[in-house]
Amino acid sequence: MSSLPQLFARLPDVFDPAQAAERPWELLGEPLESALAALPSSRIEIGLDPGVHLAGDRIVIGRGSRIHPTAVIEGPVFIGREVTVRAGAYVRGGCWLEDEAIVGANTEVKHSILLHGARAPHLAYVGDSILGANCNLGAGTVLSNFRHDGREIVVPLAEGTLATGSRKLGAVLGDDVLTGCNSVLHPGCIVGAGTRLYPGVQLRPGVYPARAIVKLKQQVEVVEQQ
């Protein structure tokens, strides 16, 4: 099997770097579940606006974080320090948001890990995915996590396919990955650190190298009105 590209320079202590290098999507399984299960029932170190809706158990929110009115947060969830969750955001149960992460207005994050400074700031969907440190999703980015036929997510490789063992898996984006506005990443995309995606890219499942540019080429025809 081809080795995966460089993804993360550092992981939180609750996650195993060796596992991340070989099968990074498995961090969303037992490692994430165990980390969430170990959280206290409630540890909220900030004042919350009455317009914030909390649901479920094991909700941790660190100092300096800002949760805007109308945001919905479901436990179990870990929200570190200086995290921003903006108006209308929906953080569904099973998420781990490291320090300085951003979940933007009307963005939905489900069963995902956002590493230090990762940002999904505008109208995004992040499902069963991992965003590396300082990753930024352009407005309207969708990390799709489910095949229409409901089958296991597989990652195509040059010499075959890599089974993930999961029916729900979005994307694994390395540190400093940037997606252009309205990008759609199909289930099973692994993108190496520092890679940039053009706006509007429809990224098929597969492994993409580190420090690359994924370009979208299109033809635009302009005609005179009759």
Q: Within a domain: residue 47? A: yes
Q: How confident is the model at residue 55 (pLDDT cuts 50, 70, 90)?
A: very high
Q: Within a domain: residue 156? A: yes
| CA nearest neighbour of 71 among 56, 82, 57, 55 | 55
What residues make up the domain containing 96? 17-213
The total number of residues written for the chain in this structure: 226
Q: Please state, in angstroms and rounded to a whole number, the distance separating the CA atoms of residues 49 and 131.
A: 28
Indicate the pTM of the whole model. Answer: 0.95
pLDDT recorded at residue 1: 44
pLDDT recorded at residue 17: 72
Residues 82-119: tens digit of each pLDDT: 999 999 999 998 999 999 999 999 999 999 999 999 99
- In the structure encoding, which two tokens stand for residue 60, read together? 């941790």
Q: Which of 81-85, 120-124, 148-152 has the lowest mean pLDDT?
A: 148-152
**Residues in Cβ contact with 130 at an 8 Å cutoff, skipping those fewer than 6 apart:** 24, 25, 27, 28, 112, 113, 115, 171, 172, 173
Distance of CA 215 to the CA centre of its chain: 21
Number of domains in the chain: 1
**Residues in Cβ contact with 128 at an 8 Å cutoff, skipping those fewer than 6 apart:** 28, 110, 111, 112, 145, 166, 168, 169, 170
Residue 39 in contact with residue 22, Cβ under 8 Å? Answer: no
Q: Within a domain: residue 2? A: no
Quick check: is 122 catalytic? yes
Q: Within a domain: residue 11? A: no
The DSSP secondary-structure symbol of 168 reads B
Q: Is the pLDDT of residue 186 over 60?
A: yes
Q: Please state, in angstroms and rounded to a whole number, the distance separating the CA atoms of residues 8 and 210.
A: 11
Q: Within a domain: residue 12? A: no
- In the structure encoding, which two tokens stand for residue 106, read together? 């009307």
Sole residue written with tokens 């252009």: 180
Q: From the candidates 68, 111, 122, 186, give the one annotated as an active-site residue.
A: 122
Residue 6 in contact with residue 173, Cβ under 8 Å? Answer: no
Q: Which of 11-20, 26-35, 45-54, 94-103 has the lowest mean pLDDT?
A: 11-20
- In the structure encoding, which two tokens stand for residue 221, read together? 């025809």
Q: Within a domain: residue 169? A: yes
Q: How confident is the model at residue 162 (pLDDT cuts 50, 70, 90)?
A: confident
**Residues in Cβ contact with 33 at an 8 Å cutoff, skipping those fewer than 6 apart:** 94
Q: Please state, in angstroms and rounded to a whole number, the distance separating the CA atoms of residues 200 and 183.
A: 5
Q: Within a domain: residue 78? A: yes
Q: Within a domain: residue 142? A: yes
Query: Quick one: what percent of the chain has pLDDT higher than 70?
Result: 98
pLDDT recorded at residue 16: 76
| CATH number where 198 lies | 2.160.10.10
Instruction: Out of 12-16, 151-155, 191-195, 217-221, give the one with best mean pLDDT.
Output: 191-195
Residue 155 in contact with residue 168, Cβ under 8 Å? Answer: no
Q: Please state, in angstroms and rounded to a whole number, the distance separating the CA atoms of residues 170 and 3.
A: 20
Q: How confident is the model at residue 2 (pLDDT cuts 50, 70, 90)?
A: low
